Structure 1
Amino acid sequence: MKKSILAIAAVITLAFTSCTSDGGPSKPKSSFELKIDDLKGNIADGTVTLDASQTYTLSGALIVKSGATLTIPAGTTIKSSTTADATSMYIAVERGATININGEANNPVIMTSGKASPAESDWGGLIICGDAKVNTGDNGTSEVGGLAYGGNNNADSSGKINFLRIEYTGSKFSPTKEYNGVSFFGVGSGTEVSNIYAFESGDDGVEFFGGAVNASNIAIVNAYDDSLDFADGYQGTITNVYISGVSKAGIEGSNNGDNDIAEPLTNAKLINVSIVKGADAKFTASEQAINFKEGGGKHTYTNLFVSGIDTFAKLDSGTGATARIDAGDFKVNGKTFVSTSNLTTDYVAAETGAGNGATLPTWATKISKNN
């Protein structure tokens, strides 16, 4: 009997320590039931890996719960349902969960509308929540999805996003409650973010709510609120940003809507940026190239190119924002911003921006709509 028990124990041990063909430990399977034509539900455990040869239909909320992982390989396409309510369809990653979007140059992961004639706000978008610092509190609740975010681990990792094209997002519950293309809530610097192309978002294209995640190669085309937004004590560097089709602000940078001097102060560094108003009359850039809002925080722009917008910034008149400007914390292309001199020509000269001035840069074409 003892030998039999030992034999069974050996088999169980072998099963739990088995390796993949590359010599690493095997990934734990998940109890999640993956349906190609009905992608929704909670991934509560293990790892779920999508199949790049399939086109998935997102029919509701797909939520990666804490401790679980969703992996999306290069070339995978996810389309929103044509019949489900637009506000019910989104992909969210809880604090403590992981998403790995493993797109490649010229072979991105695509998240888009399933409608024959797609338009902005056809579905929600992508929401990622982390454990990094936010100046609104350590346990906030995301505007949409109702997920907890924020903490004290600025090095937290939520996984990675590489080469993602995300389209026709931004569905609305109300004028003040709506999805963005990609929303980062308290996401830490251990998360890898590069090569995102956000197209036709009904609200902001990409937004950072606090956190310390860095990002590179971000293209935002036709956003119907602000294009790029950061707030709530965001601490990070965003390199290579191309924005075209500006409805409100090209970039909106805030500190805190309830306490404009809350700490940690937003401290954003943006390098190689093009902001292009867009030729269509519907793109009015009504809040200018930069909206320095709700205390503003600290902004540093290097190699910033602006086209089609005459007035450079919209300025919060509160004492928090005024103090930051007076302290020299709003810097543009090597100059300290002065509110009495607010024309684009005062700050933008021969810069090249994201690569080609007003033209879509080469790096963005690898993930663009025309790819």
Structure 2
Amino acid sequence: MKKITFTTLLFFVVFGNLFAQQEKGITGYNNWLDSWTDFQPNKANYEEPTQILSGNITENITLTKRNTYLLLGNVFVTDSTTLTIEPGTVILGDFTSKGSITITNGSKIIAEGTPTDPIIFTSNKADKKPGDWGGIFILGDAPVNVFGNVSSLNYGLNPTSTDNISFGGDNIESNSGSLKYVRIEYAGKRTKKFGNFSAITLAGIGMQTEIKNVMVSYCLGNSFNILGGEVNLTKTVSYRSNKNDYNFNLGTQSNIQNALAIRSPYISSADGSRCISVNSYDIKENADSSKKETFVNATNLTLVNVSNNLKSDMQIGLIKEAILIGPDTSFHINKSVISGFQPAVILDNKIAINNTNLAKIKFTSSYFNNCKGNIFRKGYTNNDDLESWYGSRAFDNVYSKGPDDETFIDSENSRYPDFRLRINKIIASNDLYDDHNED
């Protein structure tokens, strides 16, 4: 009986110490990047296309693993149609026509891969490059903060009906389907008039839409572009994006958790790009101030800049901020890691530093590593007030300078890197089950 009591007590002591560790950055009992991600996608070879997707898809359709599909031009799923994609299916975006696919408002995409059989959207070129094809647009009827409740995509898609590029409404619970264990590679078509496509645009989608275990790599535009709606992102990855990894705008109410952004100073756009960009509008006069401003609630994020020589790259200006926060927004980030930026965060100079705005912008229990400056205001050389405010013990933030190989579990693994934070040699984990056994 004494032996059982002692064993039980030891169990609680050990697990008490585990949970006493501040679990910052991405977490998981296992490395959840393992098996379904690909950090060297240009080495993959796929079968030649056996089916072509083009024009409007107006009837329910299932894409099967036994076929390889080619997105030819701008494809639209319309008329309340459901597009279902089997695990392991490969969809190639056509380079010549810069293929894209739009799930229109009222239609759905059910793309549910598995950890060992993910769904793959990639370029049809043998030598793949960022911007080879367009991207994925998913539209819903959840709220956006524009006048009249409805907006439209402006990317030159040339639909047969303007309804096919419209999004927004009053349905917070809007359901545009689900994406699970999906990879999107080499998207981000460049246009002269409309800028770059994003790998995936979520416009006015609602809470019932599920986005989980989605990886975007080598996109020439934004990786994840969230425009309005009520959006939840879980275990998403952005790898070596040219623009923003996560772009939030148009009054979105977004929760993002256990997510990763890996940047490279040799790939990021020189005109300014970051891991997270938070705005409520592009032009203030176009926003309806009676509606919700953009709110992003981020938990357990890891934002890291991987550099061969971080100090040198900072000195020559290749490295910018990790997070940019625009006016009339709210942003909360908790238990996260921001590593290798200059500085970690920039607040727009239109944000007045007062109690009201500071209450809307929160950085708590986070780990700032190898950042030249932490939280700055754009255009201001003296940011002591912000550094002092967020450096207060009340916010429980930690500041450190350590190389990636000592900061993360196995960041240099070229196949399945592990960016969980190493704290006192204890892996950050809050899952007491095997991630690979999830639904």
Matched, 1:272 2:297: no
Residues in 2 aligned to 1:241 and 1:285: alpha-carbon distance in whole angstroms = 24
Higher relative contact order (CA 8 A, sep 6+): 2
Amino acid in the other structure paired with 1:253:
V
Matched, 1:302 2:334: yes
Matched length: 322
Provide the TM-score with structure 2 as the length reference. 0.67
Contact between 1:141 and 1:148, CA under 8 Å: does it hold in 2?
yes
Amino acid in the other structure paired with 1:75:
G
Of the candidates 123, 132, 156, which is equivalent to residue 133 of structure 2? 123
Matched, 1:226 2:233: no
SS in 2 for 1:201: coil
Deviations 1:68-89 (A, max 9, x none): 110001000011234x232xx1
Cα distance change of structure 1 residues 261 and 338 upon mapping to structure 2, 3 Å threshold: farther
SS in 2 for 1:180: coil
Contact between 1:307 and 1:358, CA under 8 Å: does it hold in 2?
no
Unaligned runs of 5+ in 2: 1-48, 367-374, 378-382, 392-396, 401-406, 412-416, 421-434
Of 151-160 and 323-332, the range deviating more from structure 2 = 323-332
Q: Pairwise mapping of residues 324-363 of structure 1 onto structure 2 (< 5 A)?
A: 326-334=357-365, 339=377, 340-341=383-384, 346=391, 347-349=397-399, 356=408, 359=411, 360-361=417-418
Unaligned runs of 5+ in 1: 1-34
Q: Name the structure 2 match of 1:317.
A: 349
Residues in 1 aligned to 2:195 and 2:211: alpha-carbon distance in whole angstroms = 25
Contact between 1:37 and 1:58, CA under 8 Å: does it hold in 2?
no
Matched, 1:75 2:103: no
Q: Name the structure 2 match of 1:141.
A: 152
Matched, 1:90 2:100: yes
Of the candidates 240, 245, 254, which is equivalent to residue 279 of structure 2? 254
Structure whose residues are more often helix by fraction: 2
Residues in 2 aligned to 1:358 and 1:317: alpha-carbon distance in whole angstroms = 38
Cα distance change of structure 1 residues 91 and 322 upon mapping to structure 2, 3 Å threshold: farther
Contact between 1:48 and 1:71, CA under 8 Å: does it hold in 2?
yes
Deviations 1:299-336 (A, max 9, x none): 010111011114122221125x656873421111258x
Q: CA deviation at 1:161?
A: 0.6
Q: CA deviation at 1:99?
A: 0.5
Q: Name the structure 2 match of 1:40.
A: 54
Cα distance change of structure 1 residues 343 and 110 upon mapping to structure 2, 3 Å threshold: farther
Residues in 2 aligned to 1:258 and 1:42: alpha-carbon distance in whole angstroms = 32
Contact between 1:216 and 1:240, CA under 8 Å: does it hold in 2?
yes
Residues in 1 aligned to 2:202 and 2:343: alpha-carbon distance in whole angstroms = 29
Question: How many percent of aligned residue pairs carry the same amino acid?
Answer: 24
Q: CA deviation at 1:265?
A: 1.1
SS in 2 for 1:326: helix
Q: CA deviation at 1:198?
A: 0.1
Of 105-114 and 276-285, the range deviating more from structure 2 = 276-285
Of the candidates 59, 68, 75, which is equivalent to residue 55 of structure 1? 68
